[in-house]
Every structure is written in structure tokens, then in C-alpha cells.
């Protein structure tokens, strides 16, 4: 049976619930009024790793510039999750702004996980090569 969550506070809900009993969010209203990118960024704090992963991937596909800081925060908050971290790094590479590259450089040097540092380093090299190929 699928599990439903409040998109605002992430409480588990029955699928028929219209208004979250915990945070009083009117769910249909919230989904209609909150921009998709904002919902994805908010979902980076979801307690379920699958939901976080879907948000990480979605933000990368959209190359959402507003997601740079939230993705970097995600890398700090779950430092041992290298699958999620690797995907966050790919999303930062796709976003590709200076802020994203600076963030990746920081991660490549300071992140506690050696695997994550390596993945960030590789993402930076890939981004660089892609830019060189344009010239």
C-alpha cells in the first residue's frame, strides 16, 4: 500500500485526507499554490530517502538555480549517504552556475566522505571538459 505524506510537514496521512491534521495545511491548495521547484526544494528535507532522492533528481533535471544552497545543505545533513550525495553532486553539475561550481569545489575539499569528495572532484572535471569542448 502506498504511503501518503503531507507535502508541508511530511506527516503520514491517509490518501483521502484533504487537510493535514498535524499542520492544518489544505493539501490541494498547497500543491496548487506552491511552485514545483519550491516543492522539490522543500522535499529535500523529507524523512523518506526515496522522496529526497526524487527531489534531488528532479532539481537537477530542471537545472534549478535556487536549489544550489539546499543541495549543498543536503550533502552536509546526510554526509554518509553516498548514493544520495552522488546524485546531489550530479544535480549541482547540471545546474552548472558559478555558485554550483564553487559549492562543488568546497565539497571536493572539505566533505567528510572520501567518496563524496572524489565524486565532486570528478563532476568538476567533467563540467570543465564539457566547456572546453564547446570552444
Tell me the β-bridge partners of 29.
none
22 binds Zn ion (CB under 5 A): yes
Judged by CB, which is closer to Zn ion: 12, or 131?
A: 12
By CB under 5 A, name the one of 3, 12, 17, 23 that touches Zn ion: 23
Rounded to whole angstroms, how far apart are CA atoms 29 and 106? 39
Which are the contacts of 122, defined by CB distance < 8 A and separation ≥ 6?
none
DSSP string, 94-119: HH--HHHHHHHHHHHHH-S-HHHHHH
By CB under 5 A, name the one of 6, 53, 55, 71 that touches Zn ion: 6
40 binds Zn ion (CB under 5 A): no
20 binds Zn ion (CB under 5 A): yes
* Residues forming the site for Zn ion (CB under 5 A): 6, 8-9, 11, 20, 22-23, 25
Amino acid at each position: 500500500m502506498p504511503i501518503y505524506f503531507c507535502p508541508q510537514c511530511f506527516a503520514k496521512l491517509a490518501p483521502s485526507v484533504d487537510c493535514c491534521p498535524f499542520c492544518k495545511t489544505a493539501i490541494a491548495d498547497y500543491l496548487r499554490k506552491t511552485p514545483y521547484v519550491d516543492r522539490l526544494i522543500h522535499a529535500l528535507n523529507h524523512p523518506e530517502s526515496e522522496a529526497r532522492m526524487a527531489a534531488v533528481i528532479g532539481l537537477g533535471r530542471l537545472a534549478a538555480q535556487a536549489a544550489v544552497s539546499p543541495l549543498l545543505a543536503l550533502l552536509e545533513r546526510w554526509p554518509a549517504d553516498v548514493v544520495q550525495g552522488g546524485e546531489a553532486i550530479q544535480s549541482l553539475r547540471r545546474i552548472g552556475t558559478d555558485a554550483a561550481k564553487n559549492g562543488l569545489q568546497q565539497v571536493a575539499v572539505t566533505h567528510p566522505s572520501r567518496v563524496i569528495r572524489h565524486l565532486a572532484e570528478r563532476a568538476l572535471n567533467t563540467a570543465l571538459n564539457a566547456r572546453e569542448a564547446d570552444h
